[in-house]
Structures are given as structure tokens and as C-alpha cells.
Amino acid sequence: MTEEVEDGNLISKTEAFLTFVVLSSWRDTIIVLKTCEALSPWAENIQMVRRCCDSIAWKAFKDCQSTGEAVNKEGPWFDEVATLRINHFVRIMTAIRAKGTKPETIGKFIVHYAERRVAGMDTESEGLRGYGYSKNELQFSVVSRKDRGVFGNSKEQRTIIESIISLIPPQQEAVSCKFLLKMLKMAILYSVTPALVSELEKRIGMMLQEATVQDLLIPNYKSADQSNSPECTMHDIDVVQRILEYFLMHEQQQQQPRKSGKFNVSKLLDNYLAEIARDPNLSVTEFQVLAESLPESARTCDDGLYRAIDIYLKSHPTLSEYDRRRLCKIMNCAKLSLDACNHAAQNERLPMRTVMQVLFSEQLKMREAVQGKEQEQSGNNSEQEENQPSTEIEIKILRAELENVKAKMAELQNDYNELQQEYDKLNNKQRNGYPWSSGWRKIKNSFHAKQEGDGIGDGENRPSPARRCRGSLRRSSMS
């Protein structure tokens, strides 16, 4: 078959056919490479696999160069490459990267291959049997699709996932945070090497501000017998905890930390907490640790955190008084908006101490409002003297509004003082041996008795301090 026997023998003809016919065509090169899958290791020994991979890599590189580094998904080769075995795909991507292709271009190849070859990339949430609400309790069950054999060969899938993770370029612009989180879910499902899982978590932490709540809802993959365990939460919150830690580490390493990044992540975390708060197996400690993962300075407003806490309290009605107080300590009442304060002051699920803190915070805000009105009136008087005089009607309206705010503030101060006195009495009784729950019931009963018609002084009905404080808040927010 060599030229030593006769010119134009089989080897030279085969070489010419491969060079000028097969390797010059996208489709023919891929067909030969796929044929080599059944001929390994013989095809490797004669360098057929290497030549085909190099040819495909060169054509892909030239195609990207001619289209301005854009991946031509309309070409006949793009989908065909995604059908190759993972080891051949890895060799092609390695060759393309060696030619200096941009990271985002390589990332597009990888994303397309993963979407075609990793089963369940877009349907992993089907592993959840769904939400069912019954008497404010969320009933759920997480069943591992791996145990059901939905995706076929788990070992093959694990190999594909590990290879894809290793192929992803280190640059942040290579792939999206959403894609990384999808790969993380699949990596956890198929028990990928812990080192690769940790690498994914670090990369996601660097791009966490780009994630959405839905992206972070990583199912807690357990076997069917473990899914009903009281300790089994519906979502894997430990993974999110580690991602948050990597995010903070990355922010500290930056020479100029981005405040906007922390603010975006704080909103993301609060919305995530609101989503997982309905989980009946989520403990107060787990909720608290996750909520306190970010420093307090990362939140400019605690409305989102208050919403998550309220959902948790509503979904866990049997929570003890101690746990409710511990849970509410997470939020800063001074960072609540006016609407949130108004809602919290009337929220029966909150412990008494938290309601008092909300009222005190609202009192300070009203005091600042009074001072602002006084400064505004002073400014108007100065403007009246320097410029055109204001009408007497405008001045009277402004003074009346100021007096109204002062009266509301005085009423709120009286209500707060009475509430504080009753709270102090309760603490004294508790220290003298009275249980908290019975003392709290006595206060609630006294409040209800006053609301139902207990006369004081001239015989008029007088509402409880807590209810009058909440009423003051409602009137102040309406005015």
C-alpha cells in the first residue's frame, strides 16, 4: 500500500482523499470523526481523530473571524459539533482556544453543547412535585430524578458535566451567571467532584448580582425516603450560603468595592428569603443565619427583609415567643419605610417588643417631620420678607398643618409611654416568677376589655394603648 511498491498506491490515494475531500468539508469531517468513535483506539493511533479535530477547530476559528467573533449558529456544523462525544468536543475546544478565540465565543460553543447534551438543563425544576397549601402549611416533596433514571446513564452525564465545567474560560464574560447556576444544579444532582462544584460556587459568587431568585432556587436533591424527613428542606440553602460567602470575599478583594453590587445582592437575598420562608422544615436558625450573611450596611431599606420575616411568621403559626423575638431581631426598624411601619404596627404576628420598636422609630420620624415643617415655615417667612409676600390663607394652612402634626405626635408619645409602662410591668412579673405567656395573655385580655367598653373617668370607652398607637400611625400616614 506504500509508494515503494507503486506510485499512487492506497496510502497516497487515501491521504489525498482525506486532505482535499474530507477535511475540506465541515459535514464530511464531522461524519468521519463520529465514525472514529467506534474505531477507538485504532483511529487514535493513526492520528485520524487529531486531524479531524484540528480541521474542525481551524474552520470554526476562521468562521468566527469572518463573522467578527460571532458564532454562526446558521452554519451546517454548529449543531453537528454538539452531537460529538465529549472527549472529541473537549479536543476541539482546546484547539480553538489555543488559536486565540475570544472567551465569549468559546462560551457560546460550550453553552450550546451543554444545552444539547446535558439532560435536564431546562427542566430540572420538574423534580419538585409542586406546592400544595393546606392550612397555611406548604406540603412538598423533592424526588431525585437521578433515582428515577430519567436521564439514563448517570456516569456518562457526570463525565459530560465535569468536562464542560473544566472547559469554561476563567473570564467572567465567557458565560452568564444563569448558565453557571444551571450547571451547578446538574453538578449537585449527579454528584460531580466536590472541587468542581466549589469552583462553580466561587464563579457564581463573583457574578451574583446578575442572578435572579428563580436561578437560586436549587432543589435539595435527596432520595425519596429522605425527602419526607423533618430535617429536609425543600431548597439547598447551604449552597446559597456558600455562594454569598464567596461574593463577600470577592468584594473584599476588589480595590474599589461596588456598593451597588451589595445593594442588588441584598434585594436578591431578601426576595430569596421570602420564597423559602414558606418551607415548613426551614428552621429559625437557618433563616437567621442566611439573612445575616450580608452586613447590615448592605441594606438601605429593610422592607424586603420585613416581608420575608412576616411570610415566615405566617407560615409557622406555632412558633414560640422566643423564636419570634429572635427572628424579628434580624431587621432594623429604623430602616423600615412609612408603609412598612404602618403595616408592622398593626401586625398581630409580631412580638410586643418589636411593635414598640416600630412605634418608637415612627415617633422619631414624626419628630423629624415636625422639624421639617418648622424649617419650611421659617423658610417661607424669610422668603416672604425678601421676595413677594405670601397670602394669609397659605400661612394659616401651614400653621394648622404644623399644629396637627404636633398634636398627633403628642398623642403618639402618650400612647407609647403607656405601652412602655405596661411592658415594664410585664417584665417585672416575669422576673418575679410569672410565665411570659400568661402575662402576655393578661395584657391582651386587658386591651380587649378596654376596647369592648371598660369605662374610665367619665364613662367613655377608651381603646388600648397599642391599638391607639396603631390608629395614630394610620391617621398620620393618611394625612
Is 45 strand, coil or helix? helix
Is residue 124 very low, low, confident or very high in pLDDT (cuts 50, 70, 90)?
very low
Q: What is the mean pLDDT of residues 347-357?
A: 91
pLDDT of residue 377: 65
Is residue 2 very low, low, confident or very high in pLDDT (cuts 50, 70, 90)?
low
User: 445: buried, middle or exposed (CB in 10 Å: 19+, 13-18, 0-12)?
Assistant: exposed
Is 432 among the domain residues?
yes
What is the domain count for the chain?
1
Residue 359: is its pLDDT beyond 70? yes
Residue 179: is its pLDDT beyond 70? yes
Grid look-up 465541515 returns: 26
User: 426: buried, middle or exposed (CB in 10 Å: 19+, 13-18, 0-12)?
Assistant: middle
Question: What confidence tens digit (pLDDT) does each residue in 267-279 have?
Answer: 999 999 999 999 9
Residue of 120 and 235 predicted with greater confidence: 235
Lookup: cell for 34 = 463520529
Is 360 among the domain residues?
yes
Is 85 among the domain residues?
no
Is residue 235 very low, low, confident or very high in pLDDT (cuts 50, 70, 90)?
very high
Q: What is the mean pLDDT of residues 214-236?
A: 74
Is 414 among the domain residues?
yes
In angstroms, the CA 215 to CA 182 distance is: 8
Question: What confidence tens digit (pLDDT) does each residue in 388-419 have?
Answer: 455 666 666 767 777 777 777 777 777 777 77
DSSP code at position 413: H
In angstroms, the CA 464 to CA 49 distance is: 84
Q: What is the mean pLDDT of residues 4-14?
A: 71
User: 178: buried, middle or exposed (CB in 10 Å: 19+, 13-18, 0-12)?
Assistant: middle
Question: What confidence tens digit (pLDDT) does each residue in 138-177 have?
Answer: 333 334 444 444 445 789 999 999 999 999 999 999 999 9
Is 423 among the domain residues?
yes
Please report, for residues 246, 295, 321, 332, the alpha-carbon distance to residue 285 in angstroms, rounded to integers and kept in the order given.
Answer: 21, 17, 14, 18
Domain extent, residue 364, equals 354-383+392-478
Q: What is the mean pLDDT of residues 330-335?
A: 93
Lookup: cell for 42 = 485504532
DSSP code at position 140: -
- Long-range CB contacts (< 8 A, 24+ apart) of 69-76? 69/101, 69/102, 69/104, 69/105, 70/105, 71/105, 71/108, 71/109, 71/112, 73/112, 75/26, 76/26, 76/27
Q: Which of 250-264, 292-306, 424-438 has the highest mean pLDDT?
A: 292-306
- List the beta bridge partners of residue 134: 137
Is 224 among the domain residues?
no
Helices then strands, counting H and E runs in the chain, come out as 22, 4
Q: What is the mean pLDDT of residues 106-121?
A: 91
pTM more than 0.85: no
How confident is the prediction for the chain on average, in pLDDT?
78
Is 302 among the domain residues?
no
Q: What is the mean pLDDT of residues 324-329?
A: 95
Is 398 among the domain residues?
yes
Is 102 strand, coil or helix? coil
